[in-house]
Amino acid sequence: MLKNNVLELKKIDENTIDDIPNDLSSYWMPFTTNRRFKKNPRFLVSAKDMYYKTNNDKSILDGVAGLWCVNAGHCRPRIVKAVQDQVAEMDYATAFNMGHPKAFTLASRLAGILPKDIDNIFYTNSGSEAVDTALKIALAYHNANGDSRRTRLIGRSRGYHGVGFGGMSVGGMVANRKQFSNHLPGVDHMQDTHIPELNAFSKGQPKHGVERAHSLIDLINLHDASTIAAVIIEPVACSTGVLVPPIGYLEEIRDICTKNGILLIFDEVICGFGRLGTPFAGDKFNVIPDIMTLAKGITNATVPMGAVATHKKIYDGLMHGPENVVELFHGYTYSGHSLACAAALATLEEYESEKLFERANSLENYFGEKAHMLKDLDNVIDIRTIGLVAGIELKTREDGLGKRVYDVFDNCFENNLLTRFTGETIAISPPLIVSKQQINTIFETIRSAILEVK
């Protein structure tokens, strides 16, 4: 209950006082309708495996792996212990001209599961930083190669690449761009791959739309390939409503980039670490980029971390010049943070020993079938699925854009299921430990919510 924006404490005793804040006004929440939230706040106070607990002691089934990131499930003992041990041993060490062993071990373990020749890892603290870093590495690589005219960066409409100025500029989500007028210059966008009139209710890769790759050729014809440094895309555009690439599309983009000397960056911040039933999206689609951005599932979200993985030709291409000069003038105080490295190493062990990528792969069909069973509902206009990701798009209600989807999200939460909404789409991406029973519960709860909300 709120009084003058102050939440009355339900029970003031030592057990609850830490769990329930009594002032909601100071915290400016990210990507949130702050005023609406503060009128009707929702608190998550603990988590284990597939469930969160609220401050009212309700168990909430996590249908979105936190925010597409807790791929191994919550508070897994191996990861918790690794972080606890690390913080007691060494809290922090600078990564500038100094190393700690786990950062090197992790880089080589990642290289071991990344596609062939994607061998070098640069650490960041988030997906947004990974994207900005990847764009800078692409520019630095061309520069070092004597190709300094290649400065143009190409994104795609409806793409999401985080919130830094680089990621925002190459991104293609209108709401994320229009509030901030200054974008990077020299950026252009390809057409997105969303063709609902031909592809609605596709399971897996849609049949139509390979020709959308030719919008890259249009941009090459407009700007000339010699001015283009890199193309960045999400293999599956998740944050914009789960847009799965049409059959042949990624292969076509790869081919055009190769023929024109343009670096291809896959933003794997969501798709990586088993979300699609393979280690990375490149493995699922058999298309290998030159640079990959990683985050989220890299540490199971236990400690913030992002990374840029590059083809060895890029690293090697920058390892020139006098050895007393820094090769890449870029890095963060927390690059390769000791806690993040410990969490990531334990997370990789967890994925491997629990065979979670294989598990996601084996559940893909079941998950897709259950999602597509919502097709009969009047207000559902499209369902898109791949791996353990589903987007359920709803008809816009007369009272405005996003109103119905918010009510469905709210209804699901009231009925103990955490979902995510974007535009008019409810997105589902559970931890990879999800059971068939829990998949049933997820889609039954969404069915009831869509029916109740109207």
Ligand X SMILES: Cc1ncc(COP(=O)(O)O)c(C=O)c1O
Contacting residues toward ligand X, per CB under 6 A: 126-128, 131, 160-162, 234, 238-239, 267, 269-270, 295
CA neighbor of 110 nearest in space, from 285, 280, 315, 235: 280
CB of 398 to ligand X, least distance (A): 31
Rounded to whole angstroms, the Cα distance separating 135 from 180 reads: 20
Cβ closest to ligand X, residue 131 vs residue 228:
131
Rounded to whole angstroms, the Cα distance separating 161 from 177 reads: 11
The CB density around residue 321, as the number of other CB atoms within 10 Å, is 10
Judge contact between 284 and 250, C-beta under 8 A: no
Rounded to whole angstroms, the Cα distance separating 33 from 30 reads: 9
Q: What is the token pair recorded at 160?
A: 């999401």
DSSP 202-216: -BSS-SS-GGGGHHH
CB of 238 to ligand X, least distance (A): 6
CB of 206 to ligand X, least distance (A): 19
- Look up residue 310 and give its amino acid: T
Cβ closest to ligand X, residue 129 vs residue 407:
129
CB of 167 to ligand X, least distance (A): 6
Q: Residue 181, by phi and psi: left (phi above 0), alpha (psi -120 to 50) or beta?
A: alpha
CB of 328 to ligand X, least distance (A): 20
Cβ closest to ligand X, residue 158 vs residue 372:
158
Cβ closest to ligand X, residue 128 vs residue 425:
128
Cβ closest to ligand X, residue 220 vs residue 287:
287
Cβ closest to ligand X, residue 199 vs residue 299:
299
Judge contact between 363 and 434, C-beta under 8 A: yes
Cβ closest to ligand X, residue 275 vs residue 372:
275
CB of 325 to ligand X, least distance (A): 30
Q: Helical H runs in 11-53?
A: 34-39
Cβ closest to ligand X, residue 276 vs residue 449:
276
CB of 269 to ligand X, least distance (A): 4
Judge contact between 164 and 182, C-beta under 8 A: no
**Backbone torsions φ then ψ of 264, nearest 5 degrees:** -105, 125
**Backbone torsions φ then ψ of 277, nearest 5 degrees:** 90, 5
CB of 237 to ligand X, least distance (A): 8
Alpha carbon 317 to its chain's center: 29
The Cα-based distances of 230 to 156, 217, 239, 329 in angstroms read: 12, 13, 21, 19
CB of 166 to ligand X, least distance (A): 11
Rounded to whole angstroms, the Cα distance separating 448 from 454 reads: 10
Q: What is the token pair recorded at 218?
A: 């249009």
Rounded to whole angstroms, the Cα distance separating 409 from 363 reads: 24
Can you tell me whether residue 229 is helix, strand or coil? Answer: strand
Rounded to whole angstroms, the Cα distance separating 432 from 442 reads: 14
Cβ closest to ligand X, residue 234 vs residue 382:
234
CB of 409 to ligand X, least distance (A): 17
Cβ closest to ligand X, residue 127 vs residue 241:
127
